[in-house]
Amino acid sequence: MSKDNRKRIIEMLSNSGEEFISGESISKELGISRAAVWKHINYLKENGYEIEAINKKGYRIVDVNSDVIIPEQITANLDTKFVGQNIKYFQEIDSTNNYAKDNFESLKDGTLIISEYQSAGKGRLGKNWQSNIGEGIWMSLMLKPEIPVYKAPFLTLVAGAAILNAFRNIGVDAEIKWPNDIVLNGKKMCGILTEMVAEVEKVGCVVIGMGINVNTMLFPGELSEKATSLKKEGFELKRSDIIREIMHEFEKLYTTYIEYGSKEEVISVCRKYSVLIGKDVYIINKNHREKVYCMDISDDGNLIVKHDDGVIEEVISGEVSVRGQNGYI
């Protein structure tokens, strides 16, 4: 209940603009005491909100620290039906994906798990993922789709298309490196890791992990050549706004796929903003490395490539890694 009240207070203060709202008005609207209102206001202040309080006038929001993630701030203006409406927030956790998989039975469909720091963050093919405090968005979306197991892998591209749409909505010209990297100015800015808990011939849950470099300015070692962040590329964006926009875009594409089986819009977005189509790339499968020409993305979401001998093949995302001729892309 306290979270719902804070969410309502944020909505009221946000909608009032520069006008003050009295503690009495908030108290009557929410059906709580003035003392409870005061406690909620203090909580918001301690978590990054700059709230001006003037005796006999009330409260108004002056500003909010762009680095602060407050679940109530995300859900206050989130227009989804279920995606992201329930948030589990941690200061530190081993892995948001692990938490989602371990607790999916007790979590509501569409629950979003966010942590400021992951001690064991991971990427695709078992790689480690750097996820430091305040530098990015480290989150996992837990879903319970009623679909057969073979339909679950496509949700990686659903997430990719949703993230692309979200960033482009807020002025970031992001692109996608099939199947699970979001690229900005030729470097990786976001990675997607999709995992599944399968029951007998059906999906128990699908967990879509998303790691987005927002404020990171220094990347160690080889990462400096292939990774970047929004801030490093000149974008100053609030993490809560990014999360909200991604949830909004994801629910639209996800619902279309789950309810109608349609892949068309997702594939269209991934083709349009692909950094691979029309290029020579390396397909890496374990220790085998082969140069191929990337022709297209199939209607099912596989990568269509042409080998040097002219043979055309569809590559499935779970089998390989893709690298550009001269490095990352």
Least confident of 7-21, 23-37, 52-66, 271-285: 52-66
Print burial letters for 294-315: b (CB count within 10 Å at least 16), e (below 16): bbbbeeebbbbbeeeeeeeeeb
Residue with tokens 């699908």: 206
Confidence of residue 62 (pLDDT cuts 50, 70, 90): confident
Looking at the DSSP bridge assignments, the partners of residue 283 are 290, 322
> Residue 299 has what pLDDT?
96
Question: Is the predicted pLDDT of residue 45 greater than 90, yes or no?
Answer: no
Task: Give dist(CA 151, CA 308) in Å, integer.
Answer: 31
> What are the pLDDT digits (tens) for 129-168?
567 788 999 999 999 999 999 999 999 999 999 999 999 9
Greater confidence (68 vs 292) lies with 292
Confidence of residue 325 (pLDDT cuts 50, 70, 90): low
Question: Is the predicted pLDDT of residue 126 greater than 60, yes or no?
Answer: no
Identify the CATH number of the domain defined by range 71-272.
3.30.930.10
Identify the CATH number of the domain defined by range 2-64.
1.10.10.10
Question: Is the predicted pLDDT of residue 226 greater than 70, yes or no?
Answer: yes
pTM: 0.86
Identify the CATH number of the domain defined by range 280-324.
2.30.30.100
Question: Is the predicted pLDDT of residue 124 greater than 60, yes or no?
Answer: no
Q: Which of 60-64, 89-93, 104-108 is the most confident on average?
A: 104-108
Task: Give dist(CA 273, CA 264) in Å, integer.
Answer: 14
> Residue 222 has what pLDDT?
83
What value does the mean pLDDT of the chain take?
91
Could you tell me where the beta strands, DSSP code E, fall in 43-160?
A: 49-54, 58-64, 87-90, 111-115, 136-143
Domain borders along the chain are 2-64, 71-272, 280-324
> Residue 17 has what pLDDT?
78
> Residue 132 has what pLDDT?
76
> Residue 322 has what pLDDT?
82
> Residue 61 has what pLDDT?
84
> Residue 70 has what pLDDT?
83
Print burial letters for 109-129: b (CB count within 10 Å at least 16), e (below 16): ebbbbbbbbbeebbbbeeeeb
Task: Give dist(CA 90, CA 96) in Å, integer.
Answer: 9
The backbone torsions φ and ψ at residue 259, rounded to the nearest 5 degrees and listed phi first, read -85, -35
> Residue 122 has what pLDDT?
65
Least confident of 38-52, 136-150, 246-260: 38-52
